[in-house]
Chain A
Amino acid sequence: MTDATLALPSRTPPVRQTSTMVFLASLAVFAVIVTILAQQGVISTSFVKTLGKTLCLCLAAVAMDVVWGYTGILSLGHMAFFGLGGYAIGMWLMYARTEALVAPGLAAQPIPPTPSELQDAIGSQIFGVVGSSDFPLIWMFADSLFLQMAMVVLVPGVLALVFGWLAFRSRVTGVYLSILTQAMTLALALYLFQNDSGLRGNNGLSGLQNIPGFEDAPQSAISLAFFWASAVALALGYLLFAWVVSGKMGSVLRAVRDDEARVRFLGYHVESFKLFAFVLTAVVTGIAGALYYPQAGIINPAEIAPIASIYLAVWVAIGGRGRLYGAAIGAAFVSLLSSWFTGGGAPDIDLGVYTVRWTDWWLVLLGLSFVAVTLFAPKGIGGLVDLLTEKRRPERQGDYGPDKGAKRSEEGVE
């Protein structure tokens, strides 16, 4: 992919890589076009939100690509980090919003409320739905935007660190690791489903589209602002990961993917590198989630269910593993197509005896096309790019690379 010779640095810095430049430029153009169309009223506010959410999903997919396509860890738990980021910011949004709602009522009382009275009023407003009124300990920082933003990074980060450390040090690899990450997600989702989890059980957090402090701003402006924030986050995340997977770090990560044991004999502490990739991607995924859920307006534990993480993997695979833009394209393509089909956008097909309603048949189509992609186009949509640029990769002889990264006769643990 590079034209490095001895005189040049081993790899071009990410900004100067063609794919990165093309990606960032397209993203910028796309953002500008969407902004203009939105202001002209050509596209609706809800569609701007859909696009903004899609950008967040792209960011999560890019992170997933780093951990799976580059490092070879098929994590079926990254959407858990996405959800945790959403919950972390959602707590502040809901607290501040509820505070804004109950404060005038309390202020109208004969005597001004004490801080604890205010707290109780907010608490019973938020937790009334689960039959409680006390703030659980985890809401300790909910009144501080700054601290909750720190939580967006810390909660997924620490969870990934602890889980990753436990999993990698016991050398759980391959399918086992995937199942373990899936178990982690499932445990988290089940925990959050409980009413006494402190996060409103299956009600989740809602009303997140109302941004405290911007009550007067129209949703059209807010949606554009979040769209831009998502675009910037995607751009920065893309740059960060492009930098990480370039140079020696990328080299080591891909080496870990292809032959973990050999990397160990080179003196690299494989577990540290896996943990690095796992935690970094978890944190970025958390940030993506924190941007996604204010646009979605609601988060509940179903968002963390294992299936969500599997879909993330599906997007990356369809887009093409081992290339960051592939992941982003896959996520955007599949999730937009999915909302088009399930939203009734696709026309029904009348076969005479039976009418194919895409709201019913879309998942069948997705499932089968996913099988087809895995079987016939392991490079995914990214493979098209190869065809277009006619950069034919020479046939490889080994069982290596992102497409065959999983191809190992040794599976499981060492």
Chain B
Amino acid sequence: MRLLEVDGVSVTFDGFRAINNLSLSMGEPELRAVIGPNGAGKTTFMDIVTGKTRPDSGRVIWGEENRNLIGLSESSIARAGIGRKFQKPTVFEDQTVRENLAMALKARRDPFAVLFRRSDMPARLAELAEEIALTEHLTRKAGELSHGQKQWLEIGMLLAQEPRLLLVDEPAAGMTPAERTHTADLLKRLAQTRAVIVVEHDMEFVRRLECKVTVLHEGRVLAEGSLDHVTKNQDVIDVYLGR
């Protein structure tokens, strides 16, 4: 069934059309890779879906109730069930792994609930820590972790949020081949129960995901389909692959 529908979205920065009448639809569960050259509008697309950037026109329809996400704050959109993984791991380095995870756990987010409900669901926390292999490091500050551990912590935080849609920005950047395999497997596993959009540059990695691919170019969808299908598309070859 359809979870997210981006419909005719456009946005202009200082006369530069970053996104031009972009439409895209995601089901649940589904794994999708979004690819495209630099400046194709991949990041802006994620900014729009997560509420960071407000488009000039178009709609972003979400969930069973067909809520329009345009105009909602970033936090409302996050609470609606959209999680975002940044390219560079962004965790709260001054806080412990445990605190980082506890903050992300799905729970009421208003200040008074946060102030008065002080239990951080130890069982769920333990489970998550297990999953990202950081059980040993729960009381360490996130800033002390290695780069890879931070990546995992951030993934753990995303899982703790229990999002229905996960936006992942270039997960394979800077990873060893082994880590890439691991990550691809994880994404595929996650996509069994939810929608996952992976924005990626690396075609090799996209191939491993074995999913439907959307090619962006100059802010609009150039082609959509299986990787083999889009790589045969002449337009795609011209602007991207054949560079």
Interface residues of A (CB under 8 A from B): 2-7, 9-10, 244, 247-249, 251-252, 254-255, 258-259, 261-270, 272-273, 276, 394, 396-398, 400-402
Given contacts A6-B125, A270-B75, 18 further A-B contacts (CB under 8 A): A2-B139, A4-B96, A4-B139, A6-B126, A9-B119, A10-B102, A248-B114, A248-B117, A255-B92, A258-B92, A259-B92, A265-B84, A267-B161, A268-B114, A269-B75, A272-B111, A398-B94, A400-B92
Residues of A within 8 A of B83 (CB): 265
**How many pairs of residues, A versus B, come closer than 8 Å at their CB atoms?**
114
Q: Tell me the complex Cα distance, A115–B122, Å.
A: 64
Kindly state whether residue B241 has any CB partner on chain A within 8 Å.
no
Top 9 nearest A-B pairs (CB, nearest first) are A398-B93, A267-B78, A264-B74, A276-B111, A400-B94, A401-B94, A267-B79, A396-B143, A269-B75
Q: Which of chain B's residues has its CB closest to A256's CB?
A: B92
A406 CB to nearest chain B CB (Å): 13
- Contact pick for A251, options B93, B103, B141, CB 8 Å: B103
B108 CB to nearest chain A CB (Å): 10
- Contact pick for A396, options B125, B138, B141, CB 8 Å: B141
Task: Check B99–A251 contact: CB distance below 8 A.
Answer: yes
Kindly state whether residue B201 has any CB partner on chain A within 8 Å.
no
19 sample A-B contacts, Cβ–Cβ < 8 Å, listed by A number: A4-B139, A6-B122, A6-B125, A10-B102, A248-B103, A248-B118, A249-B111, A252-B103, A258-B92, A259-B92, A262-B86, A264-B74, A265-B50, A265-B74, A266-B75, A267-B79, A272-B111, A273-B111, A400-B94
Q: Tell me the complex Cα distance, A259–B75, Å.
A: 14
Residues of B within 8 A of A401 (CB): 93-94
Kindly state whether residue B32 has any CB partner on chain A within 8 Å.
no
Q: Which of chain B's residues has its CB closest to A264's CB?
A: B74
Q: Tell me the complex Cα distance, A18–B31, Å.
A: 49
Task: Check B74–A258 contact: CB distance below 8 A.
Answer: no
Residues of B within 8 A of A251 (CB): 92, 95, 99, 102-103
Residues of A within 8 A of B125 (CB): 6
Q: Tell me the complex Cα distance, A119–B54, Å.
A: 58
Residues of B within 8 A of A397 (CB): 93, 143-144
Kindly state whether residue B178 has any CB partner on chain A within 8 Å.
no
Task: Check A254–B73 contact: CB distance below 8 A.
Answer: no
Task: Check B93–A396 contact: CB distance below 8 A.
Answer: yes
Task: Check A10–B75 contact: CB distance below 8 A.
Answer: no
With A4-B139, A248-B103, A394-B144 known as contacts, the answer to whether A268 contacts B109 (CB < 8 A) is yes
Q: Tell me the complex Cα distance, A262–B79, Å.
A: 13
- Name B31-63 residues within 8 Å CB distance of A: 50, 52
Residue with the highest number of chain B CB atoms closer than 10 Å, among A3, A247, A263? A247
Q: Which of chain B's residues has its CB closest to A262's CB?
A: B90
Task: Check A269–B120 contact: CB distance below 8 A.
Answer: no
Task: Check A252–B138 contact: CB distance below 8 A.
Answer: no
Residues of B within 8 A of A264 (CB): 73-75, 78
B135 CB to nearest chain A CB (Å): 8
- Contact pick for A5, options B95, B102, B104, B139, CB 8 Å: B139
Kindly state whether residue B1 has any CB partner on chain A within 8 Å.
no
With A248-B114, A272-B111, A396-B141 known as contacts, the answer to whether A266 contacts B104 (CB < 8 A) is yes
| B5-17 contact mask (Cβ, 8 Å, vs A): 1 or 0 | 0000000000000
Residues of B within 8 A of A258 (CB): 92-94
Task: Check B114–A10 contact: CB distance below 8 A.
Answer: no
Kindly state whether residue B238 has any CB partner on chain A within 8 Å.
no
Task: Check B120–A266 contact: CB distance below 8 A.
Answer: no
Q: Tell me the complex Cα distance, A199–B60, Å.
A: 54
Residues of B within 8 A of A3 (CB): 139
Residues of A within 8 A of B143 (CB): 396-398, 400
